[in-house]
């Protein structure tokens, strides 16, 4: 173990609530540290999105000592601490299981549910740079697995034998690739070989966990470069074969990567999966146009490869369908106030306007028109001269025209609902 008393980070950088939780537990005699990704990110000059805490206090002890906390999980028990809009995870130090932990004939416990020491907790983690602990009270950095050496050399290395760790959890292959691109680290050669040789294991890995990694990859500063490396390592072929097919054609690949480069332009909030999925769907349809990527084949991709929820797919599909109706502003103006409001309340309209603008299907004045309506700005008074032709129609014709609009809205809503219902969970 190496303890650095003057590490290259400072206690003032730490979230106050996180530091307060650590100090409260330490005041009761429990070793407690900030751990994992938050320490790694601070040392790499990245602002942490959350702060995880590890302590020798047991979950129920933490709950009693820290206000606003509650225990979650059955086998793997954690404590969540609420502070305003933030929440902090507090976990008891754990260790990997040992043979003597299992009595003959008993079922094997799920996960590493054995309490341990700080060193044992560090050594059970995936990468050396994630095994660093920080004590904000004493401003000490605790390094049990030479994580600082790898941070200084900007190297991503697993704790233990790379082949064993990847086989143990194939999702680590995606995590290794993502972290290397997020931090600008090189993947250690032996780890890279293990990732490549065990790529096929990803196909049988847990889809919800893959889904989370896909979303995090799409949030990277340059997701296109990450997808290229996924192809080079064979990961794309194993877990996203529909996207892998794009990389077999240089022109389709270029189209796909151009869309990914424009994620910051399209996504106002990358924490929202709907926005990322909408862009990805547009990228796939543009890249795979004319290949038969539609209908059941497309549904299978979203459900079994990407891990989209039915509600997410329904929202994206409704927006993509609705965008084709936004260029006819006169059609909207002719509707009565009630019908206009019903259309403006469509849940997919905001996204549809952005998709139409992004795909250059709407002119700037049309985009402005819809943004004004969605912001609640009323329509300006109509030019009476534009109603001359309409006024020459008989009352019956006007009534029929309004009925056609009503039928059209209802048909559109039914179509969107049907599209959603047809997508399996």
pLDDT digits (tens, 9 = 90+) for 93-136: 998 876 555 555 444 444 456 889 999 999 999 999 999 999 99
pLDDT digits (tens, 9 = 90+) for 244-291: 999 999 999 999 999 999 999 999 999 999 999 999 999 999 999 988
Structural domains in the chain plus CATH codes = 2-153 (3.30.460.10), 164-308 (1.10.3090.10), 320-422 (no CATH)
Q: Catalytic residues, which ones? A: 50, 52, 126
What end-to-end distance do the CA atoms of the chain give, in Å? 48
Q: What is the residue-level pLDDT of the chain in tens, covering all 425 positions? A: 777 665 677 778 899 999 999 999 999 999 999 999 999 999 998 889 899 999 999 999 999 999 999 999 877 789 999 998 899 999 999 988 765 555 554 444 444 568 899 999 999 999 999 999 999 999 999 999 999 999 999 999 999 999 999 999 999 999 999 999 999 999 999 999 999 999 999 999 999 999 999 999 999 999 999 999 999 999 999 999 999 999 999 999 999 999 999 999 999 999 999 999 999 999 999 999 988 888 888 888 888 899 999 899 889 999 999 999 999 999 999 888 899 999 999 999 999 999 999 999 999 999 999 999 999 888 877 666 655 554 444 444 444 444 444 455 455 544 445 444 444 44
- Give pTM, 2 decimals: 0.83
């Amino acid at each position: 173990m190496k303890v650095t008393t003057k590490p290259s980070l400072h206690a003032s950088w730490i979230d106050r609530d996180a530091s307060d939780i650590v100090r409260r537990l330490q005041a009761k005699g429990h070793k407690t540290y900030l751990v994992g990704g938050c320490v790694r990110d601070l040392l790499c000059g990245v602002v942490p999105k959350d702060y995880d805490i590890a302590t020798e206090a047991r979950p129920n002890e933490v709950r009693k000592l820290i206000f606003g906390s509650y225990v979650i999980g059955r086998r793997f028990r954690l404590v969540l601490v609420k502070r305003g809009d933030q929440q902090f995870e507090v976990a008891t130090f754990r260790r990997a299981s040992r043979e003597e932990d299992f009595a003959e004939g008993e079922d094997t416990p799920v996960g590493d549910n054995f309490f341990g020491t700080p060193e044992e907790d560090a050594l059970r983690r995936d990468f050396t740079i994630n095994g660093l602990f920080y004590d904000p009270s004493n401003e000490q950095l605790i390094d049990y697995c030479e994580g600082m050496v790898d941070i200084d050399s900007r190297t991503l290395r697993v704790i233990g034998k790379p082949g064993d760790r990847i086989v143990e959890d194939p999702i680590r292959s995606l995590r290794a690739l993502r972290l290397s691109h997020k931090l600008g680290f090189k993947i250690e050669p032996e780890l890279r070989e293990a990732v490549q040789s065990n790529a096929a294991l990803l196909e049988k890995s847990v889809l919800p966990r893959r889904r989370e990694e896909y979303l995090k990859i799409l949030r990277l500063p340059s997701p296109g470069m990450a997808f290229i490396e996924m192809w080079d390592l064979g990961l794309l072929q194993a877990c996203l074969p529909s996207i892998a097919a794009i990389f077999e054609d240089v022109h389709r690949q270029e189209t796909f990567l151009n869309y990914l480069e424009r994620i910051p332009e399209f996504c106002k909030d990358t924490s929202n999966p709907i926005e990322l999925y909408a862009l990805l769907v547009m990228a796939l349809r543009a890249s795979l146009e004319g290949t038969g990527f539609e209908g059941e084949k497309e549904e299978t991709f979203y459900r079994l490869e990407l891990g989209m929820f039915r509600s997410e797919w329904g929202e994206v599909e409704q927006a993509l369908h609705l965008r084709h109706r936004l260029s006819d502003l006169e059609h909207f103006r002719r509707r009565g106030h009630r019908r206009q409001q019903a259309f403006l309340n469509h849940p997919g309209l905001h996204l549809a306007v952005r998709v139409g603008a992004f795909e250059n299907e709407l002119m700037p004045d049309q985009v402005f028109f819809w943004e004004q309506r969605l912001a609640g700005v009323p329509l300006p008074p109509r030019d009476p001269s534009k109603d001359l032709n309409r006024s020459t129609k008989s009352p019956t014709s006007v009534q029929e025209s309004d009925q056609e609009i009503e039928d059209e809205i209802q048909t559109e809503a039914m179509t969107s609902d049907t599209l959603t219902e047809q997508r399996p969970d």
